Amino acid sequence: MVLALLFIFFMARGIIIVDANFGKSMYLTWGTQHASIQGEDLQLVLDQTSGSAAQTKIPFLFGSIESKIKLVPNNSAGTVTAYYLSSTGSQHDEIDFEFLGNISGQPYIVHTNIYTQGNGSKEQQFYLWFDPTADFHNYTIHWNPTQVVWYIDSIPIRVFMNYEEEGIAYPNKQGMKVYTSLWNADDWATRGGLVKTNWTNAPFIARLNRFRARACKWNGPISINNCASNVPSNWWTSPIYKQLSYAQMGQLNWVRNNYMIYDYCKDTKRFNGQVPPECFKTQF
């Protein structure tokens, strides 16, 4: 009886925990002739005919989105493996992980970005401190009304705080689906486009497994309040998720001090000396 009442309460609020495999949560949208989804496993393929992509069946507003990913091995220059959240339309919100391939022996670059109301240009990039092609690693986007945190193997690498009350846009009013894709971007991905995709290495394959979306299902505008309300069922609004712990701060600073290679907030030339206003705010 108690479980039944809890189920009714969760469904009434639009809260759903998707603890399902790729086959139940996602479907292929591109490159269906060579990509595949089987249970826990998703395989993305890129060759000269096309790349491939998949997306979730439903959108979310707040929660934790995670998957394990094994990136394209060997000479992956020119390729991009993307894993991100996005809404639709010209005023869309988006939260990105993009993995920029490189020639053999050179490190992958993790490219992160966030769009709010159609405005991006908030890139931060990092080298990885491990070989992301040798095994699967966990990549998580934790998104709540207070902050967005990007994690790799439970280590936070970036934080974007909510300063909406000070006129800085924040992604909190649009449901977003989860997308993943593998595609050719040799016009910019590796050394600014200087290194092109070597098609003799095709097919390029990225593998994903154990997708989990512990998140609030988007049911339209009613979800803006339902998914943000501070109730026990909205576990992502708990005080422990409103700010990184002392230990997490140490991990974040370790990554940023040792592996960060680009921060839009420090690129004054790009913005003609007028960097975006959030760059003057505490972000973690």
- Which of the residues are catalytic? 94, 98
| Backbone angles phi and psi of 139, in degrees to 5 | -125, 120
Q: Which CATH code fits 22-280? A: 2.60.120.200
Q: What is the pLDDT of residues 146-184, one digit of tens each?
A: 999 999 999 999 999 999 999 999 999 999 999 999 999
- Give the rounded percent of residues in the chain with a pLDDT score beyond 90: 84
- Sorted by sequence, the CB contacts under 8 Å of residue 255 that are 6+ apart come out as 126, 129, 155, 156, 157
- Give the rounded percent of residues in the chain with a pLDDT score beyond 70: 93
Residue 281: closest CA among 116, 144, 160, 112:
160
> What mean pLDDT is predicted for residues 103-126?
93
| Backbone angles phi and psi of 10, in degrees to 5 | -65, -45
User: Would you state the pLDDT for residue 3?
Assistant: 39
Which of 75-84, 147-156, 240-249, 268-277 is predicted with the least confidence, judged by mean pLDDT? Answer: 268-277
